[in-house]
A and B are shown apart, each in its own frame.
Chain A
Amino acid sequence: KNEVEQSPQNLTAQEGEFITINCSYSVGISALHWLQQHPGGGIVSLFMLSSGKKKHGRLIATINIQEKHSSLHITASHPRDSAVYICAVMDSNYQLIWGAGTKLIIKP
């Protein structure tokens, strides 16, 4: 059974700080998603990656397939980045297995 572990569970930082959220998983995957969930509940896909690194604006996602680990970085964090960030891995049946999320609060 594939387990997805995220750390930290909660993260509070000051505006402008560099943020790192980590995700580890236990078995082979076909792809990994990073998603953002706002207080209203809606889910937005940020990245899907299966190797290397992707960048979109101030967001960077990396994955190390051998180590079964991925990180999401936010540069120059802003209060509007406050949300829950979720890592989800796609297994061999193309099902998404979800992490518990990291609640990020950026203080002005």
Chain B
Amino acid sequence: EPEVTQTPSHQVTQMGQEVILRCVPISNHLYFYWYRQILGQKVEFLVSFYNNEISEKSEIFDDQFSVERPDGSNFTLKIRSTKLEDSAMYFCASTMGLGLAGALEQYFGPGTRLTVT
């Protein structure tokens, strides 16, 4: 069964460094998402991406964050200058998009645990 993959599974970085989290969505999916879960807290929406541009973004997704689909298969989340509070699990998800009945199910990657020291 097709699945969403994410790399790395765990990334440790120093405060102020740039990180790139990588996701490979399911190949025929059209909508892509990043979510964040700080330890012990709810999952939070960061950004959705469709047709090579951002569809929606949350208040969390400030100028330090960017997303890109550089080559038609990867979907990346870049954090320019990491802060301690960026430490979290980051999940990528994808969906085929909108069916006749509305939104279709999202498929989630296993997550990347980012630790900022």
Contact = CB atoms under 8 A, between A and B. Distances in A.
Interface of A: 30-31, 33, 35, 40-45, 48, 50, 86, 88, 90, 93-101
Interface in B35-65: 35, 37, 41-45, 48, 55-56, 58
B111 interface: yes
A45 B108 CA distance: 8
Contact of B91 (A33, A43, A90, A93): A43
A98 B103 contact: no
B113 A50 contact: no
Contacts of A45: 105-108
Interface of B: 31, 33, 35, 37, 41-45, 48, 55-56, 58, 89, 91, 98, 101-108, 110-111, 113
A29 B97 CA distance: 16
22 contacts: A31-B102, A31-B103, A33-B105, A33-B106, A35-B108, A41-B37, A41-B89, A41-B113, A42-B111, A43-B43, A43-B108, A48-B104, A48-B106, A90-B103, A93-B56, A94-B31, A94-B98, A95-B48, A95-B58, A96-B35, A98-B44, A98-B45
B3 to A, nearest CB: 11
Given A93-B56, A95-B48, A43 B101 contact: no
Contacts of B110: 40-42
A88 B57 CA distance: 17
Contacts of A94: 31, 48, 55-56, 98, 103
Contacts of A90: 103
B2 to A, nearest CB: 14
A86 B106 CA distance: 14
A99 B42 contact: yes
B111 A50 contact: no
B45 A96 contact: yes
B43 A30 contact: no
Contacts of B108: 35, 42-45
B106 A95 contact: no
Nearest to A97: B45
